[in-house]
Structure 1
Amino acid sequence: MHSQNPRRHQRPAVRWATLVAVVSIALAGCSAEVQRGWLPGSSEAEVTDHTGRITNLWVGSWIAALIVGVITWGLMLWCITVYRKRKNDNTLPVQLRYHVPLEVMYVILPLIMVGVLFYYTARDMSAITDVSEEPDLTVHVIGKQWSWDFNYVDDQVYDTGQQAQDIGEPGVLAEQPTLYLPVDETVRFELDSRDVNHSFWIPVFLYKLDVIPGFTNEFQVTPQEVGEYTGKCAELCGEYHASMLFNVKVVERDEYDAHIEDLRERGQTGELGLEYSRVQDLDTPTRRSQGS
């Protein structure tokens, strides 16, 4: 009889322990950007009341996909390695026609995974798209080729952008229309288009919504971090689509009120309505029902 070497039995355990330790150290050393799944935003605080939820859904989905991938790749490599044809071995492997428990597992596990992902996605999307709560202020956003109009509905003032500015010119980005939002106040965005489909997107908010002629889309968000951000159209809308940019400033209430007063002093009072739209044969835009 051959004496068994205890070290031989310890090696797999040591290897697994080493692997776990290395992975743990690597994850602990990841930057905040990596931990957020490379999503834009702040590493110190959530930019809006929805960014944390969106980030968790994004990162959780990738972790689930990675776990499934590792298990699948591991089983594939194991089968390829263990059951590969050996040299000078011409015997026929055992032929298995049916394996009911295995086949049931292959059906049940994917259904469970899809069900879990569906639950978390539906739960978070329901919370993100909910507009049933009364907002602190409403901003009516109108997309046009190739700029934006911002109507501050409660204050009855507006700001408007020059269409199709050449973004290659010095200082043009600073001259784009600037959307002012007060920090820690809930804002309802009502989105309409004057011409073609656009998409209202502030990347650090981790959310965008289509701007469609004849249909009013809306969503609500509460900015939680003071700062200056950029916004853009995320729907290919023509020749100068890349020029359809705007600035976003999340400020304290005093600075927001000062900006509103500045617009009023410049004579930009009232609202820029859809009567200026290029598409005139559309009826009053259909509004998405609240809470849907």
Structure 2
Amino acid sequence: MPSTGKLRIIRRVNFLVSAALLAIATISPALAGWGMPDPITDQAERIEDLWIFTLIIALAVFFAVESALLYAIIRFRKKSDELPKQTHGSTAIEIVWTAIPVLIVIALFSYSFIVLRDVEKKASDDALTIDVTGFQFSWEFVYNLNDLGKNTQPNAEGQFSIIGTAANEPTFVIPVGEPVEFRLKSNDVIHAFYIPNFLYKLDVIPGRDNRFVITAKETGEFTGQCAELCGLNHALMRFHVRVVEREEFDKWVAEQAGARPSVRQP
């Protein structure tokens, strides 16, 4: 029959295993998507890959540290009143536990820089450009008729805008499978342009034009919002983006260009 000490260890191990299984069962739905919204752009997929890479490294470090801790607790637990053998440092171990974090930081920095450079790179000449203005408390999306991407008419003149109001959340439209550049600016305070399915957020700052490029890979309607507390009605700064085929996009542009411009509601 196991001794009292061994029974105590067995109970602890059973508790830890049961707790681990319960945690896995609880978070398994989130793990199906790694806890992230479904990426709908090429750039979002790169960002998701970076997130997964970072998470894997974090989990590896966590399990390595916890395993070492459990090993030390069990292997070097007190067995008698005799003073155990003492260890006074190890140069090799100290080099290893210094080198590994340095390598991890270098890997994370390099990968993050590459992904960020791809997301914020200058748009190609055939990209659709949308000028986005954040204001208290909604959004304005401006399309220039001579900068509509693949089917642009170089000599086209004019523009149209989609302007949100306190009572009406704006919806803008982009074509699927084509690069779209967003140029962001604010006329009042700092806002943040955020569409969860883009897996990306960029500040909208007065006096500074920020920009980023995406290429949507699936059609549908998705919700965005301001992600920077910008005043009492911050919660009203929601908007929607519809991703459609190019033919439907051209039809929508023709309808908007022929309609009367919207009027911003105070």
**TM-score bracket, shorter-length normalisation:** 0.7 to 0.9
Give the 3 Å change call, closer, same or farther, for CA 57–130 of structure 1 in structure 2: same
For residue 37 of structure 2, give the secondary structure of its aligned residue in structure 1: coil
- Structure 2 CA distance for aligned equivalents of residues 136 and 242 of structure 1: 31
Structure 1 residue 35 displacement after superposition: 4.0
**Aligned AA (1:159):** I
Corresponding residue to 2:162 among 159, 162, 169: 159
In the alignment, which residue of structure 2 is the partner of 1:144? 135
Give 4+ residue runs of structure 1 displaced > 6 Å after superposition: none
* Equivalent position of 1:4 in the other structure: none
Of 118, 122, 137, 1:127 maps to: 118
Q: Following TM superposition, by how much is the alpha carbon of 1:36 offset from its aligned partner in structure 2, in angstroms?
A: 3.0
If the length of structure 1 is used for normalisation, what is the TM-score?
0.73
Assess, with a 3 A threshold, how the Cα gap between structure 1 residues 53 and 247 changes in structure 2: closer, same or farther.
Answer: same
Per-residue deviation, 1:49: 1.3
Unpaired runs of at least 5, structure 1? 1-18, 166-174, 277-292
Equivalence map 1:230-241=2 (5 Å) = 230-241=223-234
Offset at residue 102 of structure 1 (A): 1.1
- Out of 232, 235, 242, the residue aligned to residue 235 of structure 2 is 242
Tell me the number of residue pairs that the alignment of Structure 1 and Structure 2 aligns: 229
Residue 219 (structure 1) aligned with residue 224 (structure 2): no
Corresponding position of 1:91: 82
Residue of 172, 178, 183 corresponding to 2:176: 183
Does the 8 A contact of 1:161 with 1:177 survive in 2? yes
Q: 1:256 aligns with which of 239, 242, 249?
A: 249
1:37 to 17, 22, 34: 34
The separation in 1 between residues aligned to 2:238 and 2:89, in whole angstroms, is 60
CA–CA distance in structure 1, aligned partners of residues 126 and 68 of structure 2 = 52
Residue in structure 1 matched with residue 102 of structure 2 by the alignment: 111
Structure 2 gap segments, 5+ residues each: 1-16, 149-158
Partner SS, residue 103 of structure 2? helix
Contact conserved, 2:123 with 2:213, CA < 8 A, in 1? no
Q: Percent identity?
A: 38
- The residue aligned with 2:196 is 203
TM-score (norm 2): 0.80
- How far has the Cα of 1:135 moved from its partner? 4.1
